[in-house]
Chains A and B, each alone.
Chain A
């Protein structure tokens, strides 16, 4: 039998039908649903008089619109009536159609859909998993095929349990060697995006491999896979190993007993075979990766903490030069300015990229016993889920943050995209652990610098970006 990549194994094991031209029907095991991209899909079902194909494939939560303060106010705490209606519409749709699990707003296990999937064992190795959200790539860290879809496709999966797809190309990103102290999964993925560009992975599924990836915790692997989409790839994945099995074991929806043993036997095969061919291979040396900071309005606009804001004059291509000029103007940055001179007004630690327990521990370790700099107007920590929040509180991390001047919030997507009231004001500059630095992403006129949790914490304390390794 020919050597296959992990992607090809997952593809083959979910293929329902393949036409002569390669158009395929692919079976979907897990469908994650949230309030923003599902109402029109459920409405479409209703209009066509259709029902969900397999209700127990659905795991739902409200995360984008939900406030991160004053949960004691209940649903009235969602002050924007348009947001509230969207959250209530999800409630109504799940009530009408059902779901395997649903964590509504205010539930103690509610959280960002990409945090609660793995946490609940709703994400398992070997699955196909989709969600109407581009950061669904996160779940590939568990050795599954996970990718974001639009609302038409959400409706398609609801109605048929399948998607119409063509096989993607495959890219292997090998990160070999050991990361330096203070360098994290976030720095790996930002360095990857800096290297291949924000469209470098378009048309590909990425498998992250190499000793530096295997050395990451599952949380770290999720951070890496999360931002596959920022490199243009719908899906990113990491092969199953002992760390994967350890992570999955004992979670609410994970298999138990004899079924667990059977599953593990299958999951151990979820690696790319030796000699499997990838359409493209990219290699990075982990030892060379430095803490990263984005300076522009696209995740590809990234440099190292000891770097400078680029000079558009150095760019030969006129389209790219114009792109850099526009970004510097929007970001209000001068060419050749050292990154360490950039001073954030706000700091956001959270989002599906970096809101898991390991992220909070890493930020807290930097913050402990120190104070948020006077120039920083707001520093917030938004845990990825209710369970992450409680674990952090058991470890006393909340106290570390609040003693330093951070606000400790309720879980949700929050200031990653500001669909709730956690927004940057025009002109605000934010050190953010989220995934997108697009114009207006965190609020109209807001300026985002993407960094790791440790780098965001260090910037909050120093009042400017600083190399966390010397901090």
Chain B
């Protein structure tokens, strides 16, 4: 897992509810057997005017000037501010890969879909849940102020506005430790290998049909 400690950066708004992972990264890019190369195809159908396919030179494709991430003021954004139920739908981990490879380090929203939430944290993409009113207020500030930036501090569990307001957020303590240290979760689990083996032996005795 990649580390996440702090991030201070430009904020881009994704001002719509229920953004699904099909929108984050369309299916044709899921054909790849690699973990990299998804950044140019983040929000592909919204971002470009033509239909994209793997293997194209995406830098030469016509971009949709109305799409928020194509507006010059949001170029280089590292924090995405989104609405309710961000990341719903498909379990594709290509969604957090695409967000990270585009350059986002953190996403702030009132709620996230469960599988997307897990997938993101396992890749060091920090998802921050703030209440809907706070997100609404930040959304207005982002729209109103060019160059609007936020500072995210995982250690302190705060989002800090340009005015110096510290907004606290909650995160599961174990997940926080993993993120701060970029720990290898499989390695951590394998420390329990003896316990897993003991469980497995017992389980096989109790429900042998699960092993036949």
- A contacts, CB < 8 Å to B: 13-14, 16-17, 19, 21, 23, 25, 27, 29, 36-37, 39-40, 43, 48, 50, 53-54, 56, 64-65, 80, 82-83, 85-86, 89, 124, 126-127, 132-134, 148-153, 155-156, 159-162, 164, 166, 198-199, 202-203, 229, 232-234, 253-255, 259-260, 262-263, 266, 298, 300, 319-320, 322-323, 326, 417-419, 426, 436, 438-441, 444
- Flag whether B35 is at the interface (Cβ < 8 A): yes
> A27 and B91: CB pair below 8 A?
no
> A27 and B199: CB pair below 8 A?
yes
Please choose the segment from B5-13, B62-70, B107-115 that sits at the chain A interface, where 4 or more of its residues have CB less than 8 A away.
Answer: B107-115
> A259 and B186: CB pair below 8 A?
no
A156-B189 contact, Cβ under 8 Å, with A232-B85, A266-B207: yes
In the assembled complex, the CB of A37 is this many whole angstroms from the nearest CB of chain B, namely 7
Contacts of A156 in B (CB 8 A): 185-186, 189
Q: Which of B171-212 contact A (CB under 8 A)?
A: 172-174, 184-186, 188-190, 192-193, 195-196, 199-200, 203, 207-212
- Flag whether B122 is at the interface (Cβ < 8 A): yes
A16 to B201, CA, bound (A): 11
- Flag whether B23 is at the interface (Cβ < 8 A): yes
A418 to B114, CA, bound (A): 24
> B33 and A322: CB pair below 8 A?
no
A27-B200 contact, Cβ under 8 Å, with A17-B192, A153-B122, A164-B185: yes
In the assembled complex, the CB of B21 is this many whole angstroms from the nearest CB of chain A, namely 9
Residue of B nearest to A54 (CB): B200
Contacts of B196 in A (CB 8 A): 16, 25, 27, 53, 160-162
- Indicate with 1 or 0, residue by residue over B98-131, a CB within 8 angstroms of chain A CB atoms: 0000000000000101110011001100000000
> A134 and B89: CB pair below 8 A?
yes
Question: Known contacts A25-B192, A132-B91, A152-B93; can you find 9 more A-B pairs with CB under 8 A?
Answer: A19-B174, A21-B172, A21-B174, A27-B200, A56-B211, A164-B185, A202-B114, A232-B88, A260-B209
Of A40, A43, A151, A199, which one neighbours B113 at CB under 8 angstroms?
A199
- Flag whether B20 is at the interface (Cβ < 8 A): yes
Residue of A nearest to B85 (CB): A199
Please choose the segment from B24-32, B72-80, B151-159 that sits at the chain A interface, where 4 or more of its residues have CB less than 8 A away.
Answer: B24-32
Would you list the 10 A-B pairs with minimal beta carbon distance, nearest first? A150-B119, A255-B209, A39-B33, A150-B93, A152-B122, A199-B85, A134-B91, A151-B93, A148-B91, A82-B31
> B209 and A259: CB pair below 8 A?
yes
A306 to B173, CA, bound (A): 50
The majority secondary structure among interface residues of chain A is loop
Of B23, B115, B188, B190, which one neighbours A440 at CB under 8 angstroms?
B23
In the assembled complex, the CB of B129 is this many whole angstroms from the nearest CB of chain A, namely 11
Residue of A nearest to B209 (CB): A255
Contacts of A36 in B (CB 8 A): 30-31, 92
> B210 and A234: CB pair below 8 A?
no
In the assembled complex, the CB of B85 is this many whole angstroms from the nearest CB of chain A, namely 4
- Flag whether B167 is at the interface (Cβ < 8 A): no
- Flag whether B55 is at the interface (Cβ < 8 A): yes
> B122 and A150: CB pair below 8 A?
yes
> How many residues of B are in contact with the other chain, CB < 8 A?
58
> B27 and A82: CB pair below 8 A?
no
In the assembled complex, the CB of B145 is this many whole angstroms from the nearest CB of chain A, namely 20
A29 to B196, CA, bound (A): 12
A323 to B27, CA, bound (A): 23
Residue of B nearest to A413 (CB): B27
Most buried by B among A132, A150, A203, A320: A150
Of A17, A43, A255, A320, which one neighbours B195 at CB under 8 angstroms?
A17
A370 to B23, CA, bound (A): 38
Of A153, A160, A436, which one neighbours B89 at CB under 8 angstroms?
A436
> B203 and A50: CB pair below 8 A?
no
Residue of B nearest to A418 (CB): B27
Residue of A nearest to B116 (CB): A150
Residue of A nearest to B117 (CB): A202
Of B28, B84, B210, which one neighbours A419 at CB under 8 angstroms?
B28
Of A80, A199, A441, which one neighbours B18 at CB under 8 angstroms?
A199
Of A40, A82, A202, which one neighbours B35 at CB under 8 angstroms?
A40
Residue of A nearest to B96 (CB): A150
Residue of B nearest to A163 (CB): B189
In the assembled complex, the CB of B121 is this many whole angstroms from the nearest CB of chain A, namely 9
Of A16, A29, A83, A298, which one neighbours B20 at CB under 8 angstroms?
A298
A56 to B211, CA, bound (A): 8
Most buried by A among B83, B84, B115: B115
Contacts of B113 in A (CB 8 A): 199, 202, 232
Contacts of A441 in B (CB 8 A): 22, 27
Most buried by B among A43, A229, A259, A262: A229
Contacts of B143 in A (CB 8 A): none
Residue of A nearest to B23 (CB): A439
In the assembled complex, the CB of B109 is this many whole angstroms from the nearest CB of chain A, namely 11
Contacts of B207 in A (CB 8 A): 126, 263, 266
A43 to B186, CA, bound (A): 14
In the assembled complex, the CB of A263 is this many whole angstroms from the nearest CB of chain B, namely 5
- Flag whether B16 is at the interface (Cβ < 8 A): yes
Residue of B nearest to A435 (CB): B89
Contacts of A199 in B (CB 8 A): 18, 84-85, 88, 111, 113
> B172 and A166: CB pair below 8 A?
yes
In the assembled complex, the CB of B113 is this many whole angstroms from the nearest CB of chain A, namely 6
A234 to B16, CA, bound (A): 23
Contacts of A326 in B (CB 8 A): 16
Residue of B nearest to A126 (CB): B207
In the assembled complex, the CB of B108 is this many whole angstroms from the nearest CB of chain A, namely 15
